[in-house]
């Protein structure tokens, strides 16, 4: 019997809604959660295929390297050791690098940890590291006058593509650059540049 479960996509920290499709604890696929307030039924490729990365295997007994040797341990001991090591380092001497693939709960804990210890917090998503500019919000896309898209955004990320469509409705010009002959984004753009 198929089971449908509304949940949050684990692929990044955006928080899109998905519906997991399962049968006897076996994940079979996903379907967009149509009434979810963040993505309103649109999921990117990572969201559509996130079920393939899920595993019922988890770490029950963590290990730690001591004196060059891997030894079984427990979470409490590892956390205590890391905490002790961090106390010996000045806050400005290190930063915390975390991924957009972290869960919302993980990111919240990392943020709290960073605030408590005065460390610098660096976030990255899809390979964009050490940006000197503030990232823009999805709402800023709606108000853009000209948008340059590299690749097939409409296929890769419908959530952002929806914002591009809204910008076009507001009069924005869309330019697509890609190495493919035709793709969904290029067909729906005002100008297409093939490279």
Mean pLDDT confidence for 83-100: 65
CA gap 98, 14 in Å, rounded = 14
Looking at the structure, tell me whether residues 68 and 43 fall in a common domain.
no
Q: In total, how many domains does the chain have?
A: 4
pLDDT-based confidence at residue 168 (cuts at 50, 70, 90):
very high
106 vs 190, residue with greater confidence:
190
The pTM assigned to this predicted structure is: 0.48
Looking at the structure, tell me whether residues 148 and 180 fall in a common domain.
yes
Q: How far is CA 60 from CA 55, 63, 82, 93, in A?
A: 14, 10, 19, 32
Looking at the structure, tell me whether residues 96 and 48 fall in a common domain.
no
Looking at the structure, tell me whether residues 79 and 97 fall in a common domain.
no
Looking at the structure, tell me whether residues 97 and 126 fall in a common domain.
yes
Cβ–Cβ < 8 Å for 175, 146 = yes
Looking at the structure, tell me whether residues 146 and 185 fall in a common domain.
yes
Looking at the structure, tell me whether residues 82 and 96 fall in a common domain.
no
Choose the final residue of a domain: 111, 133, 155: 133
Looking at the structure, tell me whether residues 105 and 146 fall in a common domain.
no
Q: The CATH number of the domain where 6 resides is what?
A: 2.20.25.90
Q: What is the pLDDT of residues 92-107, one digit of tens each?
A: 656 565 555 566 677 6
CA gap 113, 150 in Å, rounded = 36
Q: What is the pLDDT of residues 9-52, one digit of tens each?
A: 887 767 888 999 989 878 899 988 888 888 888 888 888 888 88
DSSP letter (8 states) at residue 1: -
pLDDT-based confidence at residue 151 (cuts at 50, 70, 90):
confident
What's the pLDDT at 37?
Answer: 85
Question: Can you give the residue range of the structural domain that contains 24?
Answer: 2-53
What's the pLDDT at 133?
Answer: 43
Beta bridge partners of 20: 5, 30
What's the pLDDT at 57?
Answer: 57
pLDDT-based confidence at residue 129 (cuts at 50, 70, 90):
very low
């Amino acid at each position: 019997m198929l089971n449908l479960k509304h949940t949050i996509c684990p692929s990044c920290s955006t928080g899109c809604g998905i519906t997991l499709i399962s049968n006897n604890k076996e994940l079979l696929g996903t379907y967009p959660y149509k009434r979810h307030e963040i993505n309103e039924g649109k999921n990117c490729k990572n969201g559509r295929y996130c079920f393939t990365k899920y595993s019922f295997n988890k770490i029950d007994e963590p290990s730690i390297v001591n004196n060059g040797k891997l030894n079984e341990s427990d979470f409490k001991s590892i956390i205590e050791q890391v905490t002790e090591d961090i106390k010996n380092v000045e806050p400005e001497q290190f930063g915390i690098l975390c991924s957009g693939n972290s869960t919302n709960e993980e990111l919240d804990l990392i943020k709290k940890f960073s605030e408590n210890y005065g460390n610098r917090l660096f976030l990255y998503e899809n390979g964009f590291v050490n940006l000197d500019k503030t990232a823009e919000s999805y709402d800023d896309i709606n108000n853009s006058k000209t948008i340059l898209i590299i690749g097939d955004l409409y296929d890769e990320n419908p959530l952002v593509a929806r914002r591009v469509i809204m910008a076009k409705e507001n009069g924005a010009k869309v330019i697509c650059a890609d190495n493919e002959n035709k793709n969904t984004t290029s067909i729906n753009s005002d100008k297409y540049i093939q490279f």
